[in-house]
Structure 1
Amino acid sequence: MTIFLGCGFAAKYREGGGNFSVPLQWMLGLRRLKLDAIWLELLLATDDVTADQARIRHFQSQLRAHGLAGRYCLLYQKPANDVHDFASIDCIGISKRDLLDRLAGPNVLLNLSYSIHPPLLLQFERRIFCDLDPSEIFYWMTKMEMGQSYHDEFWTIGLNVDGDDCQLPKSSLRWKTFYPLVDTKFFAPQPRPRSPKFTTVGQWYWGGAVEVAGEFPDLSKKFAFEPYLNLPARAPEARFELAMNIAAEDSERERLRQLGWRIVDPHRVARTARAYRRYLAGALAEFTAIKGVDVAWHTGWISDRAAAFLASGRPVITEDTGAQNYLPDENGFRFVRSAADAEAAVREVLRDWSRLSKQGRQCAVEVFDSVKNLRRILDF
């Protein structure tokens, strides 16, 4: 049986090591399970053929770096289209003939965030929708086709999807839950770093949108971090850093610097999955805020990045989306609702890092490990 991992967001963003790391955790887990797995990556052609070829080469080099050179099929579609048809797709990696032969036999598609669309999608025997962003996926499923008509099973990292307090848009689908995957062999515990650095990695601005009470709230990290921007002044014994995409000429850089935040370029410090791993290991802990709709709707969302921090033995300070109820009591997280809560959590991490580090690692192994979650989803 072939297990296909459907993805459409890794190859196109070649500077994003954290982005590439997401499907990588799935593939490493499938390899640990000794399954016949193929990474099926969709890359839509742009008007810049040279840039497209650079993306393809970078994607291939990253796969080689992780021993996956013979374990992928990059579907290069030209011209770009939401309809994924073999007639407009070139196969890079395994051949189209090999792909068709595998599709003719027993197979499963793990379709991350509806990356693979019909009619290609309909060629797979067992089609599993794997939702990585419940607030936006659930909302847009009420407005348009997002794969709800074409899959056999639906899985989400919205851990609180069935909770009484969950306010996600109502869905007629039967959702099952899984935890964000981290390969606990790839992300191993590391010694305490010398610097008391609290950091996170991401996009400062965000173009996604969901409607809440007739309005479209700001879902950016910029907006989410506002209540916490005085944290460096509140806890001067710690160091606060953001690996965020903020242009050099953007006035936000100076505003954040004056408030005590150091800004680094994620395309430099986390350009590959291994660089991303090193960057996380160089921190004492993660501190991050979450887009408000996940907090307000109590989706139960947790980031894959948080799981990677925990697996590295780094505690995580973040806002609660309702996920706390689905974790062990000792989990390495400190969930906060205010700057005062965050300050107290930072001081606790500084004071009691070893205990929280061990709890986080244990939680990652018990809860977030890729093998455990893949067994759950695949029912193997």
Structure 2
Amino acid sequence: MSRSLKIVVAGYAVGFPMGGQIWMMLTYVLGLTRMGHEVLFLEDTSDWSYPFDPVHGYGRVDSSFGRGILDDMFDRFGLKGRWAYNSELENRLYGMSRDKLDRFCAEADLLLNVSGVNPLRENYTRCRLKAVIDTDPVFTQVKIDQDPATRSYYQAHDVCFTFGHNLVSKPTTIPLAGIDWKPTVPPILLDQWMPLDSPGQGYTTIGTWDAKGRDVVIDGKPFSWRKSIKYETLIDMPKRVPGVEMELTFSGMGDDGLRFARHGWIVRDALALSQNCWDYRDYIRNSRAEFTVAKDQNVKLKSGWFSERSASYLAAGRPVVTEDTGFGTFLPTGEGLFAFETMDEAVRHIENIEANLDHHRRAARSIAEVHFEAGKVLGDMLQALDLA
């Protein structure tokens, strides 16, 4: 690194203060801080982002729950006072004074906009460079193509990164709206996901069962965003791998939870688990492996998307068996990481892992070290921005 940079990481944490989301935002801030940069986390509700409160189960004006989680996590990692939360809903700026926020933004070398959910207010965008990270490929590109306001939002950035690694390297029907997308992957703080000695218990995953209003249509063909549909084809999976515990830790399963439990799945509530960031991490670290599906949009169109949750499993030395989104174009598969398209393939991968668990655990950690280590991922991003 040639010099220390001032960086604003704009993200979404107080709005959804659950384990996976908090760890993701923390990783960008702490990862860049460890590289020697001065970093500030910024979140803005605009007029629509009512912060989710898991105690009540819905979004509320009162942001105290999420702010408490964020402040505690930042304090634990030496980042006290390194966040600002502007609540238009509460008509208040939390974390620091407005003058201090405006001054930092004006002096910043980079605004790194993770997931593109914050408004681009004039006082936030006085920095030298603006970059956005698309963490939900396909859905994002379709929305940009169909919605002029979203297109203008992304085009207001100097550089656009995407987790859709294959969007720029393979022919695709996904509309790119003339944007020069640059591939990236989710960074992981390896020291926070150290492998445990125990073999772990259960093939697990954590997520949202259903998400309405996010399906897309490309060239007249519908593509689903919902995982619930994908698991229906795998409902008998526990019977195919006797002696292996298969778990579904999701929010919003409703009656589906009881039905899947009758088919041998261990069903848990993701909201209850993820309210505590450390419980979320411990659940992954104590798992035997991850077994999960991916959104139909990424599977059928082979976007190359790979989730930060799966990267965390790998870092914890837990093998990952996940639906094929085309990530094999840039990640090694067959040892520690497995892509499947059918139940039969998934069964073979699980049997392979069980036959040589220690080997696949070491391979999983190695993949995380080579491909997802925060310093490398963030360093590559700064290099692409000519800031390294």
What TM-score do you get using the length of structure 1 for normalisation? Answer: 0.90
Larger deviation: 144-153 or 125-134? 144-153
Larger deviation: 310-319 or 207-216? 207-216
**Contact 2:44/2:119, CA 8 A, preserved across alignment:** no
Residues 314-342 of structure 1 show CA distances to partners (whole Å, capped at 9, x for unaligned) of 01001111110101356621110100001
Q: Measure the CA separation in 2 of the matches of 1:223 and 1:287.
A: 16
**Contact 2:110/2:129, CA 8 A, preserved across alignment:** yes
Q: Measure the CA separation in 2 of the matches of 1:230 and 1:165.
A: 35
Cα root mean square deviation, aligned? 2.0
Q: Does residue 72 in structure 1 map to residue 76 in structure 2?
A: no
Q: Measure the CA separation in 2 of the matches of 1:118 and 1:27.
A: 19
Residue in structure 1 matched with residue 257 of structure 2 by the alignment: 253
Distance of aligned partners of 1:227 and 1:330 in 2 relative to their CA distance in 1, 3 Å threshold: closer
Residues 49-107 of structure 1 show CA distances to partners (whole Å, capped at 9, x for unaligned) of 7732333233322322333222111122237xxxxxxxxx6321122111122223242
Equivalent of 1:127 in 120, 125, 130: 130
Q: Measure the CA separation in 2 of the matches of 1:46 and 1:200.
A: 27
Q: Measure the CA separation in 2 of the matches of 1:130 and 1:317.
A: 25
**Contact 2:194/2:315, CA 8 A, preserved across alignment:** yes
1:43-122 to 2 correspondences below 5 Å? 43-44=45-46, 46=50, 51-78=62-89, 90-120=92-122, 121-122=124-125
**Contact 2:111/2:129, CA 8 A, preserved across alignment:** yes
Larger deviation: 89-98 or 344-353? 89-98
Deviation at 1:214, TM superposition (A): 2.8
Q: Does residue 149 in structure 1 map to residue 160 in structure 2?
A: no
Q: Measure the CA separation in 1 of the matches of 2:20 and 2:50.
A: 23
**Matched position secondary structure for 1:123:** coil
Distance of aligned partners of 1:172 and 1:342 in 2 relative to their CA distance in 1, 3 Å threshold: same
Q: Measure the CA separation in 2 of the matches of 1:209 and 1:18.
A: 23
Deviation at 1:348, TM superposition (A): 1.1
**Contact 1:18/1:272, CA 8 A, preserved across alignment:** no
Residues 283-337 of structure 1 show CA distances to partners (whole Å, capped at 9, x for unaligned) of 1100001111101111000000010000000010011111101013566211101
Equivalent of 2:205 in 192, 200, 204: 200
Matched residues, percent identical?
A: 24
Q: Measure the CA separation in 2 of the matches of 1:160 and 1:110.
A: 22
Q: Does residue 159 in structure 1 map to residue 151 in structure 2?
A: no
Residues 153-198 of structure 1 show CA distances to partners (whole Å, capped at 9, x for unaligned) of 0111111112334332233111111111111111112223353x10
Q: Measure the CA separation in 2 of the matches of 1:347 and 1:123.
A: 54
Residue in structure 1 matched with residue 55 of structure 2 by the alignment: none
Equivalent of 1:346 in 337, 346, 350: 350
Residue in structure 2 matched with residue 295 of structure 1 by the alignment: 299
1:1-380 to 2 correspondences below 5 Å? 1-8=5-12, 10-14=13-17, 16-44=18-46, 46=50, 51-78=62-89, 90-120=92-122, 121-144=124-147, 145-146=149-150, 147-195=153-201, 197-207=202-212, 208-214=214-220, 216-246=222-252, 250-328=254-332, 332-379=336-383, 380=388
**Matched position secondary structure for 2:186:** coil
Distance of aligned partners of 1:50 and 1:227 in 2 relative to their CA distance in 1, 3 Å threshold: closer
Q: Measure the CA separation in 1 of the matches of 2:190 and 2:349.
A: 25
**Matched position secondary structure for 2:168:** coil
Distance of aligned partners of 1:174 and 1:261 in 2 relative to their CA distance in 1, 3 Å threshold: same
One-letter amino acid of the counterpart of residue 167, structure 1: T
Residues 241-271 of structure 1 show CA distances to partners (whole Å, capped at 9, x for unaligned) of 1110136xx2211110111111111222232
Q: Measure the CA separation in 1 of the matches of 2:70 and 2:286.
A: 25
Q: Measure the CA separation in 2 of the matches of 1:226 and 1:262.
A: 15
Distance of aligned partners of 1:361 and 1:123 in 2 relative to their CA distance in 1, 3 Å threshold: same
> What stretches of structure 2 of length at least 5 have no aligned partner?
52-58
Q: Measure the CA separation in 1 of the matches of 2:106 and 2:210.
A: 43
Q: Measure the CA separation in 2 of the matches of 1:224 and 1:124.
A: 43
**Contact 2:45/2:118, CA 8 A, preserved across alignment:** no
Larger deviation: 99-108 or 115-124? 115-124
One-letter amino acid of the counterpart of residue 12, structure 1: G
**Contact 1:227/1:338, CA 8 A, preserved across alignment:** no
Q: Measure the CA separation in 1 of the matches of 2:313 and 2:50.
A: 34
One-letter amino acid of the counterpart of residue 35, structure 2: L
Alignment size in residue pairs: 366
One-letter amino acid of the counterpart of residue 100, structure 1: D
Deviation at 1:374, TM superposition (A): 0.7
Deviation at 1:31, TM superposition (A): 2.2
Deviation at 1:216, TM superposition (A): 4.0
Residue in structure 1 matched with residue 56 of structure 2 by the alignment: none
Larger deviation: 45-54 or 219-228? 45-54
> What stretches of structure 1 of length at least 5 have no aligned partner?
80-88
Distance of aligned partners of 1:213 and 1:49 in 2 relative to their CA distance in 1, 3 Å threshold: closer
